[in-house]
């Protein structure tokens, strides 16, 4: 193989010399043919023929052979340069692919892997050799295959896509990844496969799932609470409300979370005062641990709520959220007001009764006084 390479190198670098040698060979061959085949003259006289046409014909053919050798040499050099550039480019992109942080694969039109880099092999727990020829569906659970088919159909329509997907590693564990997929078409415009770039986000997903579980657990605790639990951000937007809060307001959680608390659930006549108190609480200018105000429930029904407030701060000490627990005291306040009214009524009755008793005593004293006077006037 080394000798073949040397020969190719010699031919490429000495094409002009080869052209000259070929032209000389042709010249001598013509002399031999005319001497021994056509017997027109002695061999020595055919080296430089006396026939003008023959002479110029040999000159023309020799020039053509030499010119062709020069042209062929330039073509081969260009080809060699192009091949070297192509190899350098392939090597460059191969290094980029192999050193990329993302896993990269190329699948054919039947969703079988025809190229993989080392990163995707490491992510899935296989060697690159084991992955080649495997189908894309070999790395996912059965319930996800229909979803994967929908993504593949989008590739066939020429659509690029970026989406989260869960794959199955060789050891059976989950590989959560961001998939960036690009379709590949041949020169005729036919779908020929797809290029996928895979970013491992398993760690992030585990954290998200853990946070979601904690949030769901906290939500369950809040839902079993017998009071309203409400969280507002620094703009007064509802970020959390429990089941009791939804029951009191008469709305679903989706109808409350994300809404402006003051514009949506506070009576218009007290909105300004409540907003000012909330702003003072957010800015840390005022501590309001207990507050009573009306809210507007579904159907424009007003309910009186007793709030206990706690501020939640970030690492810099800025208030980010206000957590409030509220108790619906509408009926209790009505009962208290009714009781107070009854007490006031009884107090009024008592006062009237006492005044009446004093008046009766005064009248009795007057009667006794008059009877005494009458007895003195008329002893019999």
Mean pLDDT over 279-307 rounds to 86
What sign for the dihedral angle of Cα 368, 372, 378, 380? positive
Q: Which residues pair with 112 in a beta bridge?
A: 135
Most confident of the ranges 242-246, 285-289, 352-356: 242-246
Mind listing the pLDDT tens digit for each residue in 149-182? 999 999 888 888 889 999 999 999 999 999 988 8
% of the chain with per-residue pLDDT over 90: 23
> What is the residue whose two structure tokens read 């002009």?
16
Mind listing the pLDDT tens digit for each residue in 308-360? 888 888 888 888 888 888 888 888 888 877 778 887 777 777 777 777 777 77
Res 315: pLDDT: 81
* Helix ranges restricted to H, 100-132: 118-124, 128-131
E-strand ranges in the chain read 103-108, 113-116, 161-168, 174-185, 191-200, 228-233, 238-241, 290-297, 301-313, 319-328
Number of Cβ within a 10 Å radius of residue 265: 21
Q: For residue 200, what are the contacts with CB-CB under 8 A and spacing of at least 6? A: 103, 123, 175, 176, 177
Name the DSSP class of 172: S
Predicted confidence band of residue 58 (pLDDT cuts 50, 70, 90): confident
Predicted confidence band of residue 29 (pLDDT cuts 50, 70, 90): confident
The domain limits of the chain are 2-76, 99-200, 208-328
**Mean pLDDT for all residues in the chain:** 81
What span, in angstroms and rounded, lies between the C-alpha atoms of 296 and 243? 17
Domain 208-328, second-level architecture: 2-Layer Sandwich (3.30)
Mean pLDDT over 96-104 rounds to 68
Res 232: pLDDT: 93
Res 85: pLDDT: 63
Judged by DSSP in three states, 289 sits in coil
From the number of C-beta atoms within 10 Å of its C-beta (0-12, 13-18, 19+), residue 155 rates as: buried
Res 257: pLDDT: 93
Res 356: pLDDT: 73
Predicted confidence band of residue 224 (pLDDT cuts 50, 70, 90): low
Has residue 283 got a pLDDT over 90? Answer: no
% of the chain with per-residue pLDDT over 70: 83
CATH 3.40.50.1010 fits 99-200, yes or no: no
Has residue 7 got a pLDDT over 60? Answer: no
């Amino acid at each position: 193989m080394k000798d073949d390479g040397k020969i190719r190198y010699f031919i490429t670098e000495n094409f002009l010399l080869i052209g000259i040698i070929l032209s000389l060979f042709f010249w001598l061959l013509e002399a031999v043919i005319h001497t021994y085949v056509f017997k027109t003259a002695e061999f020595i006289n055919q080296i430089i023929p006396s026939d003008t046409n023959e002479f110029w014909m040999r000159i023309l053919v020799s020039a053509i052979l030499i010119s062709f050798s020069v042209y062929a040499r330039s073509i081969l050099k260009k080809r060699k340069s192009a091949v070297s550039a192509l190899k350098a480019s392939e090597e460059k992109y191969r290094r980029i692919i192999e050193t990329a942080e993302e896993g990269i694969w190329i699948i054919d039109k039947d969703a079988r892997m025809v190229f993989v880099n080392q990163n995707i092999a490491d992510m899935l727990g296989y060697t690159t050799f084991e992955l080649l020829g495997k189908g894309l569906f070999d790395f996912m659970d059965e319930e996800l295959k229909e979803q994967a088919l929908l993504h593949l159909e989008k590739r066939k329509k020429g659509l690029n896509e970026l989406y989260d997907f869960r794959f199955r590693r060789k050891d059976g564990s989950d590989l959560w990844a961001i998939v960036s997929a690009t379709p590949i078409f041949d020169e005729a415009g036919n779908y020929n496969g797809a290029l996928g770039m895979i970013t491992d986000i398993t760690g992030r997903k585990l954290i998200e799932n853990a946070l979601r579980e904690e949030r769901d657990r906290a939500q369950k605790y809040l839902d079993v609470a017998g009071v309203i639990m409400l969280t507002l951000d620094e703009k007064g937007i509802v970020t959390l409300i429990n089941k009791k809060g939804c029951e009191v307001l008469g709305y679903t959680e989706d109808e409350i979370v994300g809404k402006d608390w003051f514009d949506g659930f506070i009576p218009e006549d007290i909105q300004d005062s409540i907003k000012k108190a909330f702003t003072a609480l957010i800015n840390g200018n005022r501590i309001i641990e207990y507050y009573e105000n009306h809210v507007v429930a579904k159907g424009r029904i007003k309910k009186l709520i007793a709030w206990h407030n706690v501020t939640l701060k970030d690492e810099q000490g800025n208030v980010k959220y206000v957590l409030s627990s509220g108790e619906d005291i509408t009926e209790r306040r009505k009962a208290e007001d009714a009781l107070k009214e009854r007490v006031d009524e009884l107090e009024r009755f008592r006062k009237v009764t006492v005044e009446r008793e004093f008046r009766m005593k005064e009248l009795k004293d007057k009667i006794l006084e008059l009877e005494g006077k009458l007895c003195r006037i008329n002893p019999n």
